[in-house]
Amino acid sequence: MNSIKKTNEFVFQTYLRQGKEFVRGEGATLIDEEGTCYTDFLAGVAVCNLGHCHPAITLAIEKQAKTLVHVSNLFYTAPQADLAATLVEKSFADRVFFSNSGAEANEAAIKLARRYFQLKGNKNRYKIITMEQSFHGRTMATLSATGQDKIKEGFYPLLEGFSHVPFNDIEALKEALDETVCAVMMEPIQGEGGVVPADRAYLAKVRALCDETSTLLIFDEIQTGMGRCGTLFAHELYGITPDIMSLAKALANGIPIGAMLATKEAAKGFDLGSHGSTFGGTPLATAAALEVVKIISDKDFLESVNEKGAYFRQKLIELKEKHDRIIDVRGKGLLLGMEIDNNSKDNGKDKDAGFFVANCFKKGFIINGIQDKILRFAPPLIIEKAEIDRLVAVLDSLF
């Protein structure tokens, strides 16, 4: 029995998988069991920002695996200490909490925001406002925080204390923000929501509103962070900082890790024994992440991301000018989305996002579809312009 049959028989069927087994990866290329190569424009859903099996990351993992993999957070380790210090140095934050995943980093952010006010004696300030079409994870708390009804089906009742307002609508936020709210939680650019960036003026007003009401501002940078948008963190594009930020996905280029960062003031919400994680910040994961941060935060590297992102965006805009079924092109850096009119047909079949994903895959390219009408592109940040050109040519042929 091969891996595909074993997976279909023994693994929960919660994913719609392509009918291929990948056995090897190098750079922006994945290779299946038959030796066929695919150019990856998804990077494991914005995870492998440095591509597959990056030599420096592989070396860091190998070196650490030979010395120490896990000891628990009852003891000190150098890789965790060094990574925390580096993240603080390169961000607005003063403290870091390590977890295993993005959902857990967001859980930590939610708990921190609530407990911050609880410890101050403001027990009625526990509500968190998030955005419609947001995505913050699959745990019960992060599911409750997520502003998409479709992924909540079957899991009711959800946790209390979460409300959702339209993205980029400051008046709606003002109306919802009362004395019971402890935090506003949002993605600077909505990923699963359709690759929708926050307006610059809107985000500045959100920061000002939070300051005026002493409300904590949480940025979910799980998908947008780690160079994805052309800066180390996407909020740098807007010239403002949050009080709390969550990271994961690309932080260790495929090794599971999450991080919740906070200012010194916000960090007062956690004290001894208030939160924990068995596998959070293991020597193995933090050693890999430390190398990732070193590479991605390099000025020249980030400039190359901006250059390639602008190039890719322009090529997609040129496609839009050529094909009237393309409604919009949006995003920042190398997180780009192309919205299409999904009402057209091809041989009697809907020409929706799934059509383009499947046909790109047949031609050796991995892309992603959202909401049946949006094509999401999140390639490794090391993608080459020639690879972008080849994908654009395939997309052109499918309209």
* Catalytic site positions: 135, 220, 249
**How many CB atoms sit inside 10 A of residue 180's CB?**
13
| Contacts for 142-148: CB closer than 8 Å, 24+ residues apart | 142/103, 142/106, 142/107, 142/110, 145/106, 145/110, 145/185, 147/193, 148/192, 148/193
**Joined tokens for residue 218:** 């949480």
Antiparallel, parallel or unpaired: β 22-26 and 345-346: unpaired
CA–CA separation, 277 and 270 (whole Å)? 13
Q: Which residues pair with 375 in a beta bridge?
A: 338, 369
What Rg do the C-alpha atoms of the chain give, in angstroms? Answer: 21
Q: In 3-state terms, what secondary structure has residue 63?
A: helix
At 131, give phi and psi (nearest 5°).
Answer: -100, 145
